[in-house]
Structure 1
Amino acid sequence: MQQRFRKPLFVSVLASSILLASCGDAEQAGSGAGQQQQMTVGIVTIASRSVDLTTTLPGRASAFRVAEVRPQVNGIMKERLFEEGSMVTAGQQLYQIDAAMYQAELASAEAEIARAKAAVKASKSRFERSKGLLNDKAISQQDFDEAEAAYLQAEAQLKVAEANLSRAQLNLEYTRVKAPISGRIGRSQLTEGALLSVGQAQALTTITQLDPIYVDIAQSTSDYLKLQAAITDGRIVTDDDNRAEVTVRVGEDGNYSTTGELLFNEVTVDPQTSAITLRARLENANHSILPGMYVRAEVGTGALQNAILAPQTGVTRDPRGRAIAFIVNEKGEVEQRYLTVERTVGSDWVVTDGLNVGDQVIVEGLQKIQPGMPVKTEEVK
């Protein structure tokens, strides 16, 4: 009979031991969960500062100067004196037109000058003698008037001859066709032996000045109006001349860039694109930018005052596309904030609503947190 009562007593003791062990494991699990909630996250403390703003816009390059070379006298082209595609300087001779006829005209004009001078000398002597004879009443007033008129007419003929000489000299000079500007010259449209005429429609060649170079940039009217409103409100500050700096990048990787300044913007809007054209002038010493080339232009729009920047690593998006940041509030707990972001500056978002100066934005450990969780913070540099 005693052996029957020993087995239930043993079972009771065993059950109590299992219960105590389970309670101990639960306490350890609860303690471990508490330690996991006190995890350390990396934060960045928000501060305000002035930010130089830029906007990237598409643009097309256009030549600084373009000159079409045309003849200014008639004649036969005798020689081409430049290499196609080379650089030429202003005043450099490009073509030689047959000058034989113009040399003859110059010689004739010089002879006419000599004859006119002789006529002036003779008529002047006669006019001087007539003055003395008139005083002595040796000649009539009519004879004196005729001598004076002959002298004045001879002087007029001399001036006409001098004008003809200048014209002949100029025509002879025009037989040497020269470059009106410095730049890169294109191909010659005509060859030696071609008949040239004044006012012909076809240009002999074209010279393009590539340094500096213009870039025409298109900006939408909405962006333009937003910028003007920000300037009026004082959020964006520009210089007195509003000569913004422009950086142009070319190539697929943008591996070449050059800088310049914004000159002006058009006062009319393109009705087809609703865009305003801005013109910038940039240095192009190595001629990497060619007229007609598509470029990306970074235009400085001013300085944004008291801007609040949030690291992009600390800003996420919800399924609706709204910007979200997690901050550590005054209680040391994770808090979710919805943000209004305007643009990026480097690796930061410009935040216009949702963050204040001094907020601690979580940038590390975002995968392990949730709103309301107490955390420890460590400033991330």
Structure 2
Amino acid sequence: MPFSPKQISLKKLLPSSAAVLFLAACGTESVTAPPPAPAPLSVQVHTVKLEPIDNIVSLSGRARAYREAEIRPEVSGLIVDRLFEEGQEVSRGTALYKIDDARYSAEVQSAKAALERSKSASQLADETLARFERLASIRAVSQQEYEQALATANQAKADINIQRAAVDRTTIDYEKTVIRAPISGQIGRSSVTTGALVTANQSQSLARILQLDPIYVDMAIPSVRVVDFNRKIKNGEIELDDKDTVEVGIIMEDGQPYDYPGKIAFAEVSVDENAGSVTLRTTVPNPDGTLLPGMYLQAEVPAGRFEAAATVPQEAVTRTARGEVAVFVSNADNIVERKSIQTVGNLGNSWIVTSGLKTGDKIITSNLQGIKEGMAVTPMTTFNSGAQ
């Protein structure tokens, strides 16, 4: 069907109108700007300062009594009295228990009577011998009779010695009915009461006495470290006092230092094959009775000196994928770098570092999970990382 001029004009205009509308729509869109770069992460850092640091080795150990004595009876009988208060200080020789002594007193009297009888018999034998000597000189008796009289006199003297020994033995048993303290110290609880029957050298002790001033602290130390200690002592790296021993600091269970330093008494002469360690014994003054046997303690043993080292907070130390010990540092451009370090021990809550760092290095100690090498950071609070 033929189009009218009006229709043709409208068709020509439609495409042109759409193009105008499309261009107008495009003109109204704004160009989106890229997001701003994130601000560098704020981190705290410690500034390294290399300086001499004492090498203090921390060893764990247990307190042990300086002297210990278990009280056992040496004679049998009934306990008729306990002569001490549990927990009190006793001196050597203090009477602790009394055993019924009636039987032992009678044995002493019997032994003494036997001794007197032996003395009388000996006197009679001596008189008989003297007569036989005179008679033998005039051949009034035979030589055999004289020798018999001589043997009887000598036997009587021997019997005296036997009876004297019996008196001594029974007297000792009688005296042992009073059980006395073999050492000075603090006595613990009694395991028996009045009326208990005890036997000589029984396995169960009646009580225990501990001497606690001074007191021992026994520590286990690797045998390799013992060799190192001996080498450093020989080279003069570890100082000895006027008694050729080493002073040791003691740390209590709550982390507080003990008032009195100890001194190394000796090292065990053999190595524990299972643990590969040696027992190191320290003698520690204990005038106030603060330390008790069985307490867990720490001993700080001087082991020489590092001439150029730094302390690094333990929380700042990480490990690489290869297991190397490392720290993150912020360089002069505040870019994160990782440095491998060598640690040789700890000082409090810090590691002692002897290589891998230099004075002025800024060790990152915070936000370690959110940083990586190459990142920009903003160092914040700065601390000294030298000896503390």
SS in 2 for 1:322: strand
* Aligned-residue offset at 1:312: 5.5
* Per-residue deviation, 1:266: 5.1
Aligned to 1:268: 271
* TM-score (ref. length: structure 1): 0.69
- Which of 314, 326, 331 aligns to 1:322? It is 326
CA distance in structure 1 between the partners assigned to 2:278 and 2:212 by the alignment: 24
- SS at the partner of 2:302? strand
Structure 1 segment 137-156 matched on structure 2, within 5 A: 137-156=139-158
Instruction: Mark the CA change 1:318 to 1:69 in structure 2 (over 3 Å): closer, same or farther.
Output: closer
Residue from 57, 60, 64 that aligns with 2:59: 57
Q: 1:45 to 1:82 in 2, by over 3 A?
A: closer
2:72 match: 70
Q: 1:131 to 1:73 in 2, by over 3 A?
A: same
Could you say what secondary structure the match of 1:295 adopts?
strand
What is the aligned partner in structure 1 of residue 178 from structure 2? 176
Equivalence for 2:254? 252
C-alpha deviation, 1:218, in angstroms: 2.1
Cα 1:148–1:340 change in 2 (3 A) is: same
Matched to 1:83, the amino acid is: E
Aligned partners of 2:193, 2:165: CA distance in 1, in Å?
Answer: 33
Give the whole-Å Cα distance in 2 for the aligned partners of 1:361 and 1:96: 76
Aligned to 1:14: none
Are 1:304 and 2:308 counterparts?
A: no
Contact kept? 2:331, 2:362, Cα under 8 Å:
no
Amino acid at match of 2:172: L
- SS of residue paired to 1:61: strand
Aligned partner (choices 127, 130, 133) of residue 131 of structure 1 = 133
Question: Compared with structure 1, are the counterparts of its residues 275 and 85 closer, same or farther at alpha carbon in structure 2 (3 Å cutoff)?
Answer: same
3-state SS in 2 of match to 1:285 = coil
SS at match of 1:207: strand
Q: 1:293 to 1:270 in 2, by over 3 A?
A: farther
What's the CA shift string for 1:229-251, capped at 9, x where partnerless?
97499594465997332222213
Let me know the Cα RMSD of the aligned residues: 4.1
Deviations 1:64-119 (A, max 9, x none): 22211111112111111000111111111101111111111111111112121122
Distance 1:213 1:135 in 2: 75
Higher mean Cα deviation, 71-80 or 254-263? Answer: 254-263
Amino acid at match of 2:100: D
The 8 Å contact of residues 310 and 348 in structure 1, kept in 2 or not, is answered as no
Distance 1:162 1:281 in 2: 46
Moved more, 273-282 or 228-237: 228-237
- Contact 2:84-2:96 at 8 Å conserved across structures: yes
- Cα pair distance change 1:68/1:141, threshold 3 Å: same
- Which residue of 107, 110, 113 corresponds with 1:111? 113
CA distance in 1, matches of 2:130, 2:87: 65
- 2: CA distance between counterparts of 1:326 and 1:132? 120
CA contact (8 A) 2:249 2:258 kept: no
Q: Does the CA-based 8 Å contact 1:250-1:257 persist in structure 2?
A: no
Deviation sequence 1:300-351 (CA, Å, 0-9, x none): 22x237x1144759xx7689563578999xxxxxxx9955443456899755
Output the CA distance in 1 between the equivalents of 2:132 and 2:319: 113
**Distance in 1 (alpha carbons) for counterparts of 2:258 and 2:311:** 28
Q: Which amino acid aligns with 1:268?
A: V
Could you tell me which residue of structure 1 aligns to residue 6 of structure 2? none
Quote the residue 2:83 is aligned against: 81
Q: How many residues align?
A: 315
Counterparts of 1:205 and 1:115, CA distance in 2: 42
* One-letter identity of the residue aligned with 1:109: A
Percent identity, please: 33
Secondary structure of the structure 1 residue equivalent to 2:115:
helix
1:62 counterpart letter in structure 2: R
Provide the residue aligned with 2:202 in structure 1: 200
> In the TM superposition, what whole-angstrom CA distance separates every residue of 1:228-276 from its partner, at most 9, and x where no partner exists?
59749959446599733222221314153432222113522352x4443
Query: Distance in 2 between the 1:203 and 1:346 partners?
Result: 44
Q: Distance in 1 between matches of 2:193 and 2:317?
A: 67
Mapping for residues 236-247 of structure 1, pairs under 5 Å: 236-237=237-238, 239=240, 243-247=245-249
Change (3 A) 1:287 1:162: same
SS at match of 2:172: helix
Preserved contact between residue 312 and residue 353 of structure 2 (Cα < 8 Å): no
Aligned with 1:187 (options 183, 189, 195)? 189
Q: Is the 8 A contact 2:250 2:257 kept in 1?
A: no
Say whether the 8 Å CA contact 2:213–2:285 is kept in structure 1: yes
CA contact (8 A) 1:269 1:276 kept: yes
Q: Using the alignment, how far apart are the partners of 1:98 and 1:318 within structure 2?
A: 72
| Structure 2 contact 65–210 (Cα < 8 Å) conserved | yes
